[in-house]
Amino acid sequence: MTSRERVLLAMNFEYPDRVPVMCQMSIGHMLQQLKDVSPVEFWFDAETFANGLIYLRELYQFDGILVSLHGHFKNWREIYNQREVQSDKEIVYLNDRKLIFTNEDLPFPEFYDERKYPSIDEIDISTLPAEIDYIPVSGGLHFKIDMNNKFEVFDLIYQKVGDEFSIHGEVTSPFDYLLDLLGYENALMSLIENPEKCKQILQHFTNGISTLASEMCDKQIDAIKISSPFAGAGFISPEFYKEFVLPYESQIISAIKSKGKFAYLHTCGAINDRLELMIESGTSGLECLDPRPLGDVDLVDAKRRLGFKVFIKGNIDSVNTLLFGSPKSVIVDVIDIISIGKTNGGFILSTACSIAPKVPAENVKLLKDLAEKFGRY
């Protein structure tokens, strides 16, 4: 059985030979393993990024590859030509900010002047981009998409791995675009002060993301992850989730599934109070399900509540188990998760959220071996 077949069976609630293993990795963790790779080139260069993902899959013997960035500019060296290389970091200078690159984390944006966000009333929806041309990776950090070269990275990966491994794409929730546009505090207040305008903005972004996801489905991928890290209880209530997240992510999921691909939601932190709402989106699967203390999900309870409705991709604690745990404690925790997760199928062994930057590679390498030994069906 190939790795791709293994993942497809798990997502479809059929029984593979064993539990598949496929983790999302933080950029910092990737770069920690790619010691000779420039963090600037890994970020901006499609071939460097693709080769890094392929190497990391091989290093950990994962059954799939998640492609979190796409739309790299072929002429990025000309666009980002103001570049400084120091002993411990690289700096790229932009018009309004500089990006500080290290091998420990995402690029860090440092603005030359204080960043000012527009108020909700100042937003003219007609001026927002009709097509999604950037990924809001984190506060102040955008990954610009080359609209003439949106998906080259998928071709580069598929040319080298073919159908052996499951390739997954990624898009970002409309709620993240709203937060990025207005700033976190301003956006959350706007949900209360001007909910209808927020919904208009959310729908605008939803239209663009749905189109982007639909186009991505034409590449050689099996699934698309919808990154929605701020839709948990740490940010919004279940009521606001139902009003400002669910209707819009549901449309994107529908667009993905209409192209014959799987869609799964990635929401960090505490989501125990909204598992059933997340199912209402029509999603094929849920990723994360962070256990305590990072979240509040009990895997036994989640398996019972989710039933055969959605597959689970999780839920190893990347910090307390993989980062701070000993190999012995990692083995104990992961065996328990495999035992619970594999019951009735529909389970992919993964970290709940991304593998933290400083997690020892030796701990991650244990996952595939444990799945081989304890994840057999």
Taking residue 282's Cβ as centre, other Cβ atoms within 10 Å add up to 18
Q: What is the pLDDT of residue 291?
A: 98
**How many angstroms separate the CA atoms of 83 and 260, rounded?**
42
C-alpha separations of 165 from 270, 331, 354 in Å: 31, 25, 20
Q: What is the pLDDT of residue 16?
A: 99
Tens of pLDDT, residues 138-176? 999 999 999 999 999 999 999 999 999 999 999 999 999
3-state helix, strand, coil in the chain (%, to 5): 45, 20, 35
What pTM was computed for the model? Answer: 0.98
Q: What is the pLDDT of residue 345?
A: 98
Contact 169, 224 (CB under 8 A): yes
Sequence letter at residue 236: I
Q: What is the pLDDT of residue 317?
A: 98
Q: What is the pLDDT of residue 260?
A: 99
Domains observed in the chain? 3-374 (3.20.20.210)
Q: What is the pLDDT of residue 199?
A: 99
Q: What does pLDDT average to over the chain?
A: 98
Q: Where are the alpha helices (DSSP H) in the chain?
A: 3-11, 27-33, 39-44, 46-60, 76-79, 152-161, 174-182, 184-193, 195-216, 238-244, 246-258, 275-280, 299-306, 327-341, 361-374
Token digits of residue 7: 């993942």
On the CB side of 230, CA atoms within 13 Å amount to 20
Residues of the chain with pLDDT under 50: none
